C-alpha cells in the first residue's frame, strides 16, 4: 500500500486526482488525505468536518471525494398519534435543522393534534416517474408512436420489470409537443424512493420504443418527470406519494394551545396561504411545508433536493361548530425507507426512531407510513405558524428563543 504522505505529494504535484485515492488506500485513509490536501490548499482547518462517527466506506455509495461530514443538529418532536393506512400508533418525529424555533413550532402543533386525539393520514396515490423525450419527424410520426405505445403496454411492462425484482410499471402517459414525444413512465417502487429503479427500467423500455417505432431517444429524462424542479404536473398528477393528513381541533383547545380562534385561523389561512399564494402564482399553497419536509428528509436519509416537489402542498382550514378542521395535502412527497441515504448510520437511526427502517410488510408499507407521518408533521407546522401569525406571536417567539 502506498504511504499516505506519498499520495499527498502526488496530489499536490498534479500526478494524482482526488477521486483516484481509493485505488490506492481504503476509504477512511482516502478521506483523511483529501482533508489534509484541502486544508493545505485553502488554509482551512477541517478538524470538525473530519470528526464523524461512521465508517467512510459506508458512504461510498452516497458521496464522491469525501473529506468528512457536516453535522446538522437533530431535535425530536412529539409524540403524536397517527391513524393512517400504513402508519398506526404513536410516533416521535426526528427533525434535522439549523433553523431555531422550527422544532418548537412543530412540537406545539403536534401537542395540539395529540390533545385532540391524534391526526388521520392517508396515502391516496403512489408512483415514481421518469419521462424520456423522443425525436420524431412530425405530428404524423408522433401519432404512430403514441398508438404503438398504447397497444404495447404489456410488452413495455415486461421489459421494464425485467430490470428490477421489486418495481412495477403502472402505466405510460404520452405527451406530444410538435416533433417531440414525451413518455411519462409511472412505477410502483415499493419501499424505495425509486428514482434509480425507474431510470434503469425506463432505459430498457426506451430501447424497445426506438426499435419498434420511428422515435429516436434524445434524453432519458425530458423534464416531464419532473424531478427536483417546481412543476405543475407533479401538483396535478403526483409523484412519489400523494398524501393528506387532517385533524379536528376542539374550539377550547385552539384557544388554550394556539392562543387564537378557529375563525381567525381560517381567515389567516385563506388570506395568506390561499389568496397570497394565488397572487404569487405559487405552486404550493401553504405556510412553510418545506421546513418540516426538509428537516425530516435530512433526519431520515431522503434526497434533500426533492424538497422542491415534497413541499408542493395545499393547507386548508374550516371553522366548524365543534372547532377547527385543518388539513394538508402533499401532492408529490418522494420518500423511501430502503436504499440511498437511508443506509447511512445516523439516518438509519432516524428511521429507527420512527420504527420504519427497511422494507415493510407488505412491500411499500414502510414508505407509505413515512409519508403519512411526515404529512402529520407538516400539518403540525402549518397549525403552529398560522396560529403564530393570527396571534401576532411570530416575531416574539423568535426573539424569545434567541433566533
Written as nine digits, the cell of 267 is 381567515
Written as nine digits, the cell of 355 is 420504527
Give the C-alpha separation, 401 to 392, whole Å.
Answer: 16
C-alpha distance from residue 251 to each of 7, 199, 227, 323 (Å): 68, 49, 41, 4
Q: Which residues contact 298 (CB under 8 A, 6 or more apart)?
A: 72, 96, 97, 304
C-alpha distance from residue 175 to each of 147, 169, 218, 222, 273 (Å): 12, 18, 15, 11, 32
Give burial (CB, 10 Å; 0-12/13-18/19+) of 263: middle
Give the C-alpha separation, 98 to 295, whole Å.
Answer: 9
Q: What is the DSSP string of 86-125?
A: S-EEEEEEEEE-S-TTHHHHHHHHHHHHHHTT-EEEEEEE
Written as nine digits, the cell of 336 is 423511501
Helix-helix angle 139-151:153-161, to 10 degrees: 70
Task: Name beta bridge partners: 313.
Answer: 330
Written as nine digits, the cell of 116 is 385532540
Which residues are known to be catalytic?
Answer: 99, 303, 398
Longest CA–CA span in the chain (Å) reads 76
Contact 323, 251 (CB under 8 A): yes
Other residues' Cβ atoms within 10 Å of the Cβ of residue 193: 25
Q: What are phi and psi of 358, to 5 degrees?
A: 85, -170
Amino acid at each position: 500500500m502506498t504511504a499516505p504522505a506519498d499520495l499527498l505529494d502526488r496530489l499536490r504535484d498534479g500526478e494524482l486526482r482526488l477521486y483516484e485515492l481509493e485505488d490506492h488506500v481504503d476509504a477512511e485513509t482516502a478521506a483523511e488525505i483529501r482533508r489534509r490536501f484541502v486544508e493545505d490548499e485553502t488554509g482551512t482547518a477541517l478538524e470538525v468536518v473530519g470528526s464523524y462517527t461512521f465508517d467512510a466506506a459506508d458512504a461510498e455509495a452516497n458521496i464522491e471525494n469525501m473529506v468528512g461530514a457536516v453535522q446538522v443538529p437533530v431535535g425530536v418532536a412529539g409524540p403524536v398519534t397517527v391513524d393512517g393506512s400504513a402508519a398506526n400508533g404513536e410516533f416521535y418525529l426526528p427533525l434535522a435543522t439549523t433553523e431555531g424555533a422550527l422544532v418548537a413550532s412543530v412540537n406545539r402543533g403536534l401537542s395540539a393534534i395529540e390533545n385532540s386525539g391524534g391526526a388521520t393520514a392517508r396515502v391516496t396515490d403512489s408512483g415514481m416517474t421518469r419521462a424520456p423525450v423522443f425525436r420524431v419527424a412530425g405530428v404524423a410520426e408522433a401519432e404512430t408512436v403514441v398508438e404503438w405505445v398504447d397497444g404495447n403496454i404489456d410488452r413495455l411492462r415486461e421489459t421494464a420489470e425485467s430490470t428490477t425484482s421489486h418495481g412495477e410499471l403502472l402505466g405510460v402517459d404520452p405527451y406530444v409537443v410538435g416533433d417531440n414525444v414525451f413518455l411519462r413512465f409511472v412505477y410502483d417502487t415499493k419501499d424505495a424512493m425509486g428514482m434509480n429503479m425507474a431510470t434503469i427500467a425506463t432505459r430498457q423500455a426506451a430501447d424497445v420504443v426506438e426499435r419498434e417505432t420511428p422515435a429516436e431517444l434524445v434524453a432519458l429524462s425530458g423534464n416531464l418527470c419532473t424531478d427536483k424542479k417546481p412543476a405543475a404536473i407533479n401538483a396535478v398528477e403526483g409523484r412519489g406519494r400523494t398524501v393528506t393528513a387532517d385533524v379536528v381541533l376542539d374550539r377550547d383547545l385552539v384557544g388554550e394551545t394556539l392562543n387564537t380562534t378557529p375563525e381567525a385561523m381560517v381567515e389567516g389561512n385563506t388570506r395568506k396561504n390561499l389568496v397570497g399564494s394565488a397572487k404569487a402564482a405559487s405552486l404550493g399553497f401553504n405556510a412553510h411545508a418545506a421546513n418540516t419536509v426538509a428537516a425530516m428528509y435530512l433526519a431520515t436519509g431522503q434526497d434533500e433536493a426533492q424538497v422542491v416537489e415534497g413541499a408542493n402542498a395545499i393547507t386548508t382550514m374550516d371553522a366548524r361548530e365543534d372547532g377547527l378542521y385543518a388539513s394538508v395535502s402533499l401532492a408529490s412527497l418522494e420518500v423511501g425507507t430502503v436504499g440511498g441515504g437511508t443506509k447511512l448510520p445516523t439516518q438509519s437511526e432516524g428511521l429507527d426512531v420512527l420504527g420504519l427502517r427497511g422494507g415493510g410488510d407488505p412491500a411499500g408499507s414502510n414508505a407509505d407510513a413515512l409519508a403519512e407521518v411526515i404529512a402529520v408533521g407538516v400539518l403540525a407546522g402549518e397549525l403552529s405558524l398560522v396560529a403564530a401569525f393570527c396571534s401576532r406571536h411570530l416575531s416574539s417567539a423568535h426573539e424569545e428563543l434567541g433566533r
